[in-house]
Amino acid sequence: MLTVLGFSMVICFMYLIMTKRMSALIALIIVPTLFALAGGYWHGLGEMMLNGVKTLAPTGVMLTFSILYFGMMIDAGLFDPLVRLILKIVRGDPLKVLVGTAVLTLLVSLDGDSSTTYMIAVAAFLPLYHRLGMSVLPMLCLINLASGIMNLSPWGGPTARAAAALRIDALDIFIPMIPAMLLGGLTLVGMAVLFGLRERRRLGIMTMENHHLDNISLGLGDADDCEANRRPKMFWPNFILTTTLLVLLVVGLMPIHILFMLAFAIGVMLNYPSLEQQKARIGAHAANVLAVTALIFAAGVFTGILSGTGMVDAMAKSLLAVIPHSFGPYLAVFTAVVSLPFTFFMSNDAFYFGILPVIAQTAAGYGISAEEIARASIIGQPFHLLSPLVPSVYLLVGLAKVDIGDHQRFSIKWGILVSMALMAGGIVFGAFPLWHR
């Protein structure tokens, strides 16, 4: 009963947002509530929802202050030199723009934090796409999937969770997966070339003069008075502050939401010392903040009901129950394949701490090591980041002002392709076996 209820709820939710019959914000609240009531979960429903909201509250705080921080830095002009450089390299060629999007995002994603990657990548590239008349959906697809590939680093969430759940070293998971990640990255660049050729055929190659390149402004924040808010003399202090912030994020000195709160407080005082200026900068980005954080807390309602009713556990056990005994030697590949739907329909915590240990224990009976199962389990991460249950995806689509249904409809098939490339690389380069003799 719970299994049917859980899968029905997720399918209904996906259908409503992808067909635009309901906004993601409303669907995240209404759909799980109705399904929980239909399942007879009258008592404790409010507590389930509140627990889900509490769980995502730190993420909401982090996204609030990361939007304010990077929005403020964009207003101050920190990323202007980067945009000018990219523009001068790619000129008006859509192919070069899309390849540049893929390559730069792969590099920026090395910090392992999707939200930071999205802020920087969208800030750098959105103006180019708008100026050239290019579709924003390929850009979002490349940024989203690049973050999923690089999120397999030891300091990224999935690898750390898999290592903790199976009590193994994160480096033992990561190092054998490097060739697979390179293959995933090459696949992403190949996708960028394909997208670029399509856009080049549609738009042609535009000629952009140097004065046009110098006058382009970034696509985030308040564009009307952007020049008045520029702080060119503060470039190096802002650069040092942002670099320090990114280093501390990687080191993990303090919780990420606290780091962004402190960085924003310091940055806004340095660049906009008067109270009126500070209020104006916060107000300029309030719409972005509200659009994203409202979705985050609504997602908390969805995940809270999914977990509190036991739907997640029931869905996982039902899928594991269908594995025939003869399939045992192929458990590593099976783990890689099911990591796509498992991590799409549930949180990483639920998959890695609830399901992965069960699979690993079963696989041990067939001679498949915990390290091999752990490597297979992270294959679905590029696809996972497209899930409506992942808070950062709302930041990505919110910054670009794109409907999440449109983004998913465009990107899902490409997310599966990149994950399959990772799996192929994992098998070919020996990270995990196709089957165990």
Mean pLDDT of the 274-291 span: 87
| pLDDT greater at residue 123 or residue 174 | 174
Token pair recorded at residue 409: 């409809």
Task: Tell me the pLDDT band of 207, cut-offs 50, 70 and 90.
Answer: low
Please, are residues 166 and 377 in contact by the beta-carbon 8 Å criterion? no
pLDDT of residue 33: 95
Answer whether residue 169 shows pLDDT above 70. Answer: yes
Model pLDDT for residues 297-349, shown as the tens digit of each residue: 888 898 889 888 988 778 767 766 777 777 778 889 999 999 999 888 877 77
* pTM (predicted TM-score): 0.75
Cα gap 202→95, rounded to integer Å: 11
Model pLDDT for residues 335-377, shown as the tens digit of each residue: 999 999 988 887 777 788 767 877 887 788 888 899 999 999 9
Whose structure tokens read 């190659």? Answer: 205
How many CB atoms within 10 Å of residue 283?
10
Answer whether residue 115 shows pLDDT above 70. Answer: yes
Mean pLDDT of the 433-437 span: 78
Please, are residues 28 and 393 in contact by the beta-carbon 8 Å criterion? no
Task: Tell me the pLDDT band of 226, cut-offs 50, 70 and 90.
Answer: low
pLDDT of residue 221: 46
208 φ/ψ sector (left φ>0, alpha ψ -120 to 50, else beta): beta
Answer whether residue 129 shows pLDDT above 60. Answer: yes
Of 316, 331, 333, 364, residue with least CA distance to 167: 364
Highest mean pLDDT among 32-46, 113-127, 211-225: 32-46
Of 166, 208, 183, 197, residue with least CA distance to 94: 197
Give Cα separations from 333 to 150, 219, 377 (angstroms).
21, 42, 9
Answer whether residue 101 shows pLDDT above 70. Answer: yes
Of 108, 133, 128, 132, residue with least CA distance to 119: 108
Model pLDDT for residues 47-67, shown as the tens digit of each residue: 999 998 998 888 788 778 888
In a 3-state reduction of DSSP, which class is residue 299? helix
Highest mean pLDDT among 170-179, 222-231, 285-294: 170-179
pLDDT of residue 212: 53
| pLDDT greater at residue 198 or residue 320 | 198
User: 255-261 contacts: CB < 8 A, separation 24 or more?
Assistant: 255/58, 256/62, 256/113, 257/58, 257/59, 257/61, 257/62, 257/65, 260/62, 260/65, 260/66, 260/69, 261/61, 261/65
Of 116, 112, 109, residue with least CA distance to 66: 116
Token pair recorded at residue 315: 């869905």
In a 3-state reduction of DSSP, which class is residue 220? coil
Answer whether residue 165 shows pLDDT above 50. Answer: yes
Mean pLDDT of the 138-152 span: 94
pLDDT of residue 222: 45
| Residues 6 or more apart in contact with residue 28 via CB below 8 angstroms | 13, 295, 298, 299, 301, 302, 388
Looking from the CA of 17 toward its CB, the CA atoms found within 13 Å total 27
Whose structure tokens read 């293959």? Answer: 183
| pLDDT greater at residue 45 or residue 154 | 45
Highest mean pLDDT among 151-160, 347-356, 419-428: 419-428
Please, are residues 249 and 116 in contact by the beta-carbon 8 Å criterion? yes
